[in-house]
Structure 1
Amino acid sequence: MKKSLYIFCDYYWPGTKAGGPLRSISAIVNALKNIFSITIITRNHDLCDTTPYPSVISDQVMQQDGYQIIYCSRENTLSNIKKLLKNSPDIIYLNSFFSPYFSVIPQYLLRFTHSKPRVIISPRGELGFGALSIKPIRKKWYSRLFKLFNAKDYVEFLTASDSERKEVAQLFSQKFKTTYIDNLSVKQSTHFELSQKNKNQLKIIFVSRISRKKNLSYAIQSLQNVQGDVQLDIYGLMEDKLYWESCERLIVSLSPNVRVQYYGEIHPDQVIATMQQYDLFFLPTKNENYGYVIVEALAAGCPVLLSDQTPWKNIAENNAGWTLPLSDITLFSETINTLTRLCPNEYQQYKIAARNYYNTQIQSHSNEEKYVSFFESST
């Protein structure tokens, strides 16, 4: 008989707006569904939305291809979780550390059950310094309570990078077992075409949620003193409207040689094809434990300009992009100026290198066996 695995996550298919975490869960389910009896517990609507998915039945178990899923309505989320925990699952996987409904509440309710399943928490970049600096007081107090009340013999962490593993150890003084396995990569099948960059011009793309963590305002500020014809096109869900308004104020202060346009949300299936039309993907994120959108940029042959708050530390040495410290915005501006001046032949090497990096460092490596071994060893 298969062991039972309950996966709690804020969003899942047919949602499209949650980005990387959604795709990460999908990859885990595909890797484990033949080994475990998997139940996904999630919301019945997409990120920044309240309308239920038209194709699902809320608050009922729905059978999918090799697993089952419960789409919880807001009013029945708590009762659904209570009912499910009475089934005494073997493993509980929480795809967030701070999610109130899909991490905090399940852990709290477990204290009142007789069973003690293995609890695996994937913090998804929530414990990095940049992420913790957003709403810091609330996060600080919850982290203290978590450390005080959770037992190290049944709670553990699964991190997607060595830096994230160190963040967990630093925050909780190595109290909890922590395992580091690179995220399961989602293979991207795409026709690779080299777009032509023009000398003294640079087409930049930003694809991510409009939120403080993704740091769009920093990207805009870095363009204040750049030269040449620079274009920044922004795609992504407007998660924080007040933050976007602050970005708009920065945009109007830019020089005429810099053009910025917001195009709204982009469907996941269109991301790579869209990125192929640009010279540079720019993401000065405050923290990223993996960054599926970075993988998509590399698959598109679009060199990446990143902050040093991601696990992609060897990008520069492979000529696939640049990782710079957020403490020095001038470095970002200077890098953009240098890239803008390059002629098509000079810049082409970076586009080819980005695609080669994806082929050799990402697509050819599979961590599926490591994930299977990890989850089986937890039972």
Structure 2
Amino acid sequence: MSQKLAIKPQNRYPHICHVVASINEEVGGPAYSVTHLTQALSEKQIFPHLFTLNYQKVGEQVTTNGVQLHSYNATVIARYLRGFQPSAYQHLEQLASTEIDLIHNHGLWMFPNIYARKAALVNRLPLVISPRGMLESWSLRNSWYKKWLALILYERKNLNSATAFHATSEEEVRSIRRLGYKQPIALIPNGITIPSLYNLPDRQVLNQAFPELEDKKILLFLSRLHPKKGIDNLLYVWQSLINQFPQWHLIIAGPDLIGYRAKLQSLTSQLGLTKQVTFTGMLSGELKVAALSQSDLFVLPTHSENFGIAIAESLAYGVPAITTKGAPWKDLVEYRCGWWIDDHQNALKEALIEAIQLSDRERQEMGFRGRIMVEQKYSWGVIAEEMSKVYHWILGEGDRPSSVDFY
């Protein structure tokens, strides 16, 4: 407990500073989960701050309401050197010394994550770290030499400094423990904003933007375009199914931050799928809602996810989902709202055949069960309530929540 907490005024809400490398739209994942978490916390007797860099070339920053935003335009050096921006750290350290009771860092490997640890240690503040899937086996193997070097140079010190960890899945808890960390871990999944199903955009919105979808049933992939998402496997499987299911069309939607779309489009052409696959780029606003609500089936054949927010979003719109066991979604099986499969092409093909051969009514019933499940388990109000309990417990203001696991 910091000295500031000992003298803080009565009835003052805890000031929690969330540190994340970026909340620009095209970054995806944490840009949405962290901003939505902080907004929901503002309604749970928490005063949230959000510290981040603004990478203006990857979209607008996700809107934050009810949150004190501390955003600094990323310099040229920061853009090319993993967020290295000492002037931003100075702002964070000053903020931590005057207003903050606890720092919650989201993600690894970036300089803002180092700044979170330094500001916490200098000011003797508790530090919570959310790895956000970056300690998963697949992620560590990807560019492993860079990550093990980073672990030696600075990241291990960051992780050792954590008062507690926040994991979004049981697999992430196991990943943290496998690396030898013994601090408490709060197992709290990401949340989603539950959409209203009234006044949704109609199918014509999609058809006007993408005329090739006219009279087609839609299989939707919506996520960041990245090798870990298994999109190449999806394309190979789709090539084997198009003659059997010519009335279906595959949409691949999502931002491309690493130039991967060109490789995928080349593969699509090689497989003769240019008329059966549409790359939309990043979808937002009405067009994203139309894609989610008007699709017949969602697929995310990922190799590794700490949560998989797009799966929850599809279920919230009543669309059943297929994903691999690289994502923590056994709920799909337990609540009978989708398929949770092994991470290989044969399993994906079998699941797609089974899902496509269901009647429209059977798929809609699966989607309805998924909608009820995410309302009960993954609404931001539920998630923020549990997270606020963790903060109060760390600050000595409450009992240990049931979500917290000890080594």
Q: Deviations over 1:139-194 (max 9, x none)?
A: 123234457535856532111112111111112x1333322122244222223989
The aligned amino acid for 2:54 is N
Q: Report the 3-state secondary structure (helix = DSSP H, G, I; strand = E; otherwise coil) of the residue aligned with 1:182.
A: coil
Instruction: Determine if contact 1:152/1:175 at 8 Å carries over to the other structure.
Output: no
Q: Deviations over 1:223-268 (max 9, x none)?
A: 2322321411111111121x22221232123356971111111115
The aligned amino acid for 1:238 is D
The answer to whether the aligner puts 1:130 opposite 2:145 as a matched pair is no
The aligned amino acid for 1:349 is E
Instruction: Determine if contact 2:220/2:291 at 8 Å carries over to the other structure.
Output: no
The answer to whether the aligner puts 1:74 opposite 2:74 as a matched pair is yes
Alignment of 1:35-184 (within 5 A): 35-46=45-56, 48=58, 66-75=66-75, 77-86=85-94, 87-88=96-97, 89-98=100-109, 100-108=110-118, 113=122, 115-146=123-154, 149-150=157-158, 152=160, 154-171=162-179, 173-184=180-191
> Distance between the aligned counterparts of 2:327 and 2:25, measured in 1?
23
Measure how far apart 1:284 and its partner are.
1.1
> Distance between the aligned counterparts of 1:364 and 1:375, measured in 2?
16
The alignment-based identity, stated in percent, is 22
> Distance between the aligned counterparts of 1:37 and 1:19, measured in 2?
24
Counterparts in 2 of 1:273 and 1:202: CA distance versus 1, 3 Å: closer
Counterparts in 2 of 1:151 and 1:94: CA distance versus 1, 3 Å: closer
Counterpart in the other structure of 1:207: 222
Instruction: Determine if contact 2:219/2:249 at 8 Å carries over to the other structure.
Output: yes
TM-score, length-normalised on structure 1? 0.82
Q: 1:354 aligns with which of 363, 370, 381?
A: 370
> Distance between the aligned counterparts of 1:180 and 1:10, measured in 2?
22
Please state which structure has a larger fraction of its residues in helix. 2
The aligned amino acid for 1:6 is C
TM-score, length-normalised on structure 2? 0.77
Counterpart in the other structure of 1:264: 281
The aligned amino acid for 1:71 is S
Q: Report the 3-state secondary structure (helix = DSSP H, G, I; strand = E; otherwise coil) of the residue aligned with 1:315.
A: helix
Counterparts in 2 of 1:162 and 1:341: CA distance versus 1, 3 Å: closer
**Structure 2 segments unaligned to the other structure (5+ residues):** 1-8, 79-84, 204-215, 396-407
> Distance between the aligned counterparts of 2:38 and 2:381, measured in 1?
18
Q: 1:300 aligns with which of 317, 336, 343?
A: 317
> Distance between the aligned counterparts of 2:19 and 2:163, measured in 1?
15
The runs of at least 4 consecutive aligned structure 1 residues that moved more than 6 Å come to 192-195
Q: Deviations over 1:270-291 (max 9, x none)?
A: 4333222221111112222222
Counterparts in 2 of 1:152 and 1:93: CA distance versus 1, 3 Å: same
> Paired residues, what number?
356
> Distance between the aligned counterparts of 1:69 and 1:142, measured in 2?
28
Instruction: Determine if contact 1:203/1:232 at 8 Å carries over to the other structure.
Output: yes
Measure how far apart 1:358 and its partner are.
3.3
Q: 2:195 aligns with which of 168, 188, 206?
A: 188
Counterparts in 2 of 1:147 and 1:260: CA distance versus 1, 3 Å: closer
Counterpart in the other structure of 2:231: 216
**Structure 1 segments unaligned to the other structure (5+ residues):** 57-63, 196-200
